[in-house]
Structure 1
Amino acid sequence: MALRVYDDKIGGTLVERKYPNAYFINDGDIREYVTHLKPPYGEGFYHEICFENVHIGFGNVSLKNKVLLYFEADFDSVEMHFSLKGRSAALSDNFGYKVCFDSYQHNIIYAHQMSGQMEFDGHEMQILEINLAPAFFTKFLPEDSDVFNTFRNAIEKQHSCLINPHHNRISLEMYQILNDIIHCERKGIFKRIYLEAKVAELLLLQLEQLFKSESSSSLLKKDEEKIYAVRDFIINNLDQNCSLVDLAHQVGTNEFTLKKGFKELFGTTVFNFWNDTKMEQAKKMLLEGDLNINEISDIIGYKNPRHFSAAFKRKYNLIPSKLRNTNGITH
């Protein structure tokens, strides 16, 4: 199994990997690689983790200009692709058409010994892709769906394709799992067990979303992007206190569009999401950090620790000090 990514114009190889047998055969090891992107392309990293049947890759890069690269792969793979930020496209003779991803989109791709070119167009690019051995992946496919049966037949005939011609939106549940994978700090066999569970959970959400055949969004593309911008603002500014009008005006929309669109995209209200995100962050700091409860309360925007404790109890049915005293048993 080998992969090569190179720049035909400059003549340099960026990535060249001969992946270990652990991708298909269980040798008990997890292999990890980190590739750093350097000028003239931009700056950033791409982190790879591989073990039996699974290869996980995620990265975050800042590009100065549009980047065109070429790739060659001598193996078959089913890829769970998540485009978190930025715009990318891949063109290969296997497909016969350009496969494009924009921010917040995901899909499942079967690739048979692909070669071609990739374009990256976006100041900040953030992706996560999980490659599964085809025989391993097909074990999870339900048999009572035309969509899944068509995809299974394509894998058997080694015809590269997308499981769905239209990309789906990344849900809040998916975002949480993607974040868990990216920030996993476990080691050895415990890391593998954890990541295997997260990959299975993520695949479940993708297949469920496909099976439900959700109707397309009623939002305009420009409004959808603004609502994702509000989500990103909330995640990065947990200590802020903004009204719905403030948030709407910040991204150039109105209160009605924000309320309706956020509920449609994420299945919850703006402030329920904000509160849940605060509580999840607080829980993580309580279990994994050394900050006291007053400090955590302040970081997530509660000036009164008693108000924070009350909100935390409503969410998890126990007070913050009790969670910390259990030493992570409830995590």
Structure 2
Amino acid sequence: MRSTLKSELFKDSIYQKKYSKDFLTHELIENKIEIDTPDVSGVINELQLNGMFVVMKDIHAPKGYRFEVSNNFSVFVLHFGISGSYRYTPNEKKNPLLEIPDFHYNMFYLPHTNGILEYKGTPRRTLEIVFTLGLIKELVGDTYNHVLERIDGAVKNDKPFVFWKRPRPISSELGQVLEDIIACPFTGQLKKTYLQSKITTLLLDILIEFNGNLKPEPKIKLPKADIDRIRMVERHIKSNLKETLPISELSTIAGFNSTKLKRDFKRLHGTTIYKYITQLRMKKASALIRNEGFTIAQAAYEVGYGNPQHFTNAFKRTMGYLPSELKK
């Protein structure tokens, strides 16, 4: 199994990687790629667990960036666009096979990969889990045909398949799971066991959801104009995490009174606006500490906390572990 990526981001403009059959391994294999060009900077972290290959990108690219990609094997890909957008266009097609916008996810099957990957938005943060049919058969056993009966034809006929016509939004609960994976504070065997368990559970939840065995998400009955205004508030929050962000200011941006904003925001996100802001602050702080070498006090200041101890307490409540564990 071999992948080839072509891009000016890589030395000699090409990056090739070989994998064991079905990504099988008894070890945790890690690789870190640092990118520093005039237009693109950031880091790509790769992890190979038993039966799966995980790619985490944290890239700053105001103009976007793209890869030419080819694989000589069939894969399933579960892609989470935490920030920024993603698009894959096969070489033989004029239009994209799939597009995933900011804060959405989708899963897809590619019998052959040969095309263009395009990323837009900055910062561009993604979590991608790549695996083969072998892992699905191992996870669901005799229920394989039932679980994947809706894509069985695509697999048998060697045709690409996108699980959801419309990408799914990343809920606050799912976002927390993704951050737990990205910011895993452990090392060695404990890290391998933790991530293998966490990602396996995530994959099973997604497969069950697709198969229709979970209750459908309640439809959000908000006018499009109101949703658009809440999106304006979201963008303002993401761009101003260092500020105090009082509800009165956010209400003015939305053009709602504070009661309506808090109510509709919770209906749309499944969490309160205060918890949403705190989660974003902790995610940003985690990235600053882990990837940028910030001290806890520096990271706290960058996300609006003047008191590092207050920040540490909030971080522990939100993330489930202390920020100091990110430095181990």
The two structures share one fold, judged by TM-score above 0.5: yes
What is the deviation of 1:67? 2.8
Which residue, out of 261, 265, 273, partners 1:262? 265
Aligned position for 1:108: 107
Task: Point out the more displaced range, 174-183 or 31-40.
Answer: 31-40
Write the letter of the residue equivalent to 1:62: H
Aligned position for 1:5: 5
Residue 68 of structure 1 contacts residue 119 of structure 1 at CA under 8 Å; is this kept in 2? yes
Task: Provide the rounded CA distance (Å) in 2 between the counterparts of 1:133 and 1:123.
Answer: 30
SS in 1 for 2:37: coil
Aligned position for 1:285: none
Residue 5 of structure 1 contacts residue 16 of structure 1 at CA under 8 Å; is this kept in 2? yes
CA separation of 1:78 and 1:64: change in aligned 2, threshold 3 A: same
Q: Deviations over 1:186-228 (max 9, x none)?
A: 2222111100121123224434554334355435363353354
Q: In structure 2, list runs of 5 or more residues that go unmatched.
A: 285-294
Which residue, out of 251, 269, 274, partners 1:271? 274
Task: Provide the rounded CA distance (Å) in 1 between the counterparts of 2:31 and 2:71.
Answer: 17
CA separation of 1:33 and 1:164: change in aligned 2, threshold 3 A: same
Task: Provide the rounded CA distance (Å) in 1 between the counterparts of 2:230 and 2:239.
Answer: 14
Aligned position for 1:188: 188
Residue 94 of structure 1 contacts residue 159 of structure 1 at CA under 8 Å; is this kept in 2? no
Write the letter of the residue equivalent to 2:35: L
Residue 74 of structure 2 contacts residue 132 of structure 2 at CA under 8 Å; is this kept in 1? yes
Task: Point out the more displaced range, 109-118 or 225-234.
Answer: 225-234
Residue 148 of structure 1 contacts residue 163 of structure 1 at CA under 8 Å; is this kept in 2? no
Write the letter of the residue equivalent to 2:2: A
CA separation of 1:43 and 1:209: change in aligned 2, threshold 3 A: same
RMSD between aligned alpha carbons? 4.4
User: How many aligned residue pairs are there?
Assistant: 298
CA separation of 1:268 and 1:69: change in aligned 2, threshold 3 A: closer
Tell which structure's C-alpha radius of gyration is larger: 1
Aligned position for 1:286: none
Q: Deviations over 1:251-296 (max 9, x none)?
A: 5543355323321232122235567889999xxxxxxxx99xxx9x
Q: How does 1:311-322 map to 2 (within 5 A)?
A: none
Identity over aligned residues, as a percent? Answer: 19
1:122 aligns to 2:121 (yes or no): yes
Residue 63 of structure 2 contacts residue 120 of structure 2 at CA under 8 Å; is this kept in 1? yes
The TM-score, its normalising length taken from structure 1, stands at: 0.72
Task: Provide the rounded CA distance (Å) in 2 between the counterparts of 1:94 and 1:256.
Answer: 51
Aligned position for 1:135: 134
CA separation of 1:241 and 1:117: change in aligned 2, threshold 3 A: closer
What is the deviation of 1:107? 0.8
CA separation of 1:278 and 1:70: change in aligned 2, threshold 3 A: closer
Aligned position for 1:160: 160
The structure whose RCO (Cα within 8 Å, separation 6+) is larger is 2
Write the letter of the residue equivalent to 1:120: Y
CA separation of 1:64 and 1:278: change in aligned 2, threshold 3 A: closer
Task: Provide the rounded CA distance (Å) in 2 between the counterparts of 1:112 and 1:22.
Answer: 15
Task: Provide the rounded CA distance (Å) in 1 between the counterparts of 2:3 and 2:271.
Answer: 41
Task: Provide the rounded CA distance (Å) in 1 between the counterparts of 2:118 and 2:76.
Answer: 20
Task: Provide the rounded CA distance (Å) in 1 between the counterparts of 2:170 and 2:283.
Answer: 19
The TM-score, its normalising length taken from structure 2, stands at: 0.72
Q: How does 1:110-259 map to 2 (within 5 A)?
A: 110-140=109-139, 148-207=148-207, 209-210=209-210, 211=212, 212-214=215-217, 217=220, 218=222, 220=224, 222-229=228-235, 232=238, 236-237=241-242, 242-249=245-252, 251-254=253-256, 255=258, 258-259=261-262
Q: In structure 1, list runs of 5 or more residues that go unmatched.
A: 282-289, 317-322
Task: Point out the more displaced range, 95-104 or 69-78.
Answer: 95-104
What is the deviation of 1:147? 8.5
CA separation of 1:233 and 1:112: change in aligned 2, threshold 3 A: same
Residue 108 of structure 2 contacts residue 160 of structure 2 at CA under 8 Å; is this kept in 1? yes
Write the letter of the residue equivalent to 2:251: A
Task: Provide the rounded CA distance (Å) in 1 between the counterparts of 2:185 and 2:112.
Answer: 32
Residue 57 of structure 1 contacts residue 128 of structure 1 at CA under 8 Å; is this kept in 2? yes
What is the deviation of 1:123? 3.4
